[in-house]
Amino acid sequence: MATEIITPNTTTMADLKGRVEPDWCPGCGDFGVLAAVQKALVELQIPQHEVCTISGIGCSSNFPGFIETYGMHTLHGRALPVATGVKMANHGLTVLVTGGDGDGFGIGCGHLVHSMRRNVDLTYIVMDNQIYGLTTGQTSPTSRMAMKTKSTPYGNVENPVNPIALALAAGATYVARGFSADQKHLTELIKKGIEHKGFSLIDVFSPCVTFNHDNTVQWFRPRVKRLEDDPNYDASSLNAAMEKAQIWGEEIPIGRFFELTGQPSLEEMEPVLELGPLVRQSYQIPAEKARRFIEELM
């Protein structure tokens, strides 16, 4: 047997640097999200090989290629079911899901609602640029009313979805909103999301500098207000969170809207996982059990 690789007992930013440079446009908000995720993993000291970063398809979904963990670049909108499968088969892994607003709130919205109600222990980071970036600038489920995009040249006539309210209604147990230009705050939100047992949704304003000229860093900066700055805000109250989720305009709250602790996650609800991660369990059915299964039929 060859020698075993002894893993270093520290995780550094250098470890997590991807093997290729991000192909995002200079100034894309997603750079800030990448840095925040890497910092969060370093601060939490999670070894890179115990992390699985799973994405859909989109500019933002190229994320797993730019961070050195186990990664998977799946199909447009399908990151959450793939991630759920990974987590159920090996709940020892820290599973991060990264993607865009189109990926998560458009094509993948059905999976999102069900992942949230299941409370599967995933940390879902949506790089919400209110536009379809990779397909060169069409309207997205979070594009504001009247916004002009390539697919709405006369202005969008559909109401955007409210991801925070949607998550609260669907039963997500950790709901937060970050701003990619507010690194420290975002890093904290991601750390808390990873530490949270159960599903966490972190909707991140991550401006697209190429196709969305409405919702820019300059537009967001004066508007975002951290919930953490309000000492009276109670993130354990669903009603308070729902109320805050409605605020949009001159003031836009960011931060941890809601966290419900003590709620069992899906893995904890499954007795089959009491024997340890599925992937480490025996796959041989003992003869005695096999005999019982056959005898039922005789």
Ligand X SMILES: Cc1ncc(C[n+]2csc(CCOP(=O)(O)OP(=O)(O)O)c2C)c(N)n1
Helix (H, G, I), strand (E, B) or coil at 252: strand
Pairing outcome for strands 123-128 and 200-205? parallel
Token output for 294: 């056959």
132 forms part of the interface with ligand X (CB under 6 A): yes
DSSP at 138: B
Pairing outcome for strands 252-259 and 174-179? antiparallel
33 forms part of the interface with ligand SF4 (CB under 6 A): no
Residues 71/65, Cβ–Cβ less than 8 Å: yes
Residue 192: contacted member of another protein, ligand X, ligand SF4, none (CB under 5 to 8 Å, by partner type): none
Closest by Cα among 129, 232, 130, 122 to 174 = 122
Interacting stretch for another protein, rule CB under 8 A, among 35-43, 70-78, 155-163, 220-228? 70-78
DSSP 151-182: TBTT---SPPP-HHHHHHHHT-SEEEEEETT-
CB of 103 to ligand X, least distance (A): 3
28 forms part of the interface with ligand SF4 (CB under 6 A): yes
The stretches of the chain forming alpha helices (DSSP H) are 13-16, 30-44, 79-89, 101, 109-118, 163-170, 183-195, 217-220, 238-245, 266-269, 287-295
Residue numbers 41-80 binding Mg ion by CB under 5 A: none
CB of 77 to ligand SF4, least distance (A): 17
CB of 227 to ligand SF4, least distance (A): 26
Out of 146, 247, 269, 279, name the contact with another protein by CB under 8 A.
279
Out of 39, 54, 80, 103, name the contact with ligand X by CB under 6 A.
103
Residue numbers 117-176 binding Mg ion by CB under 5 A: 129
Residue numbers 7-66 binding another protein by CB under 8 A: 7, 19-20, 23, 47-50, 52, 54, 57, 62, 64-65
Residues that bind ligand X (CB under 6 A): 57-60, 76, 99-103, 127, 129, 131-135, 140
Which residues form the interface with Mg ion (CB under 5 A)?
A: 100-102, 129
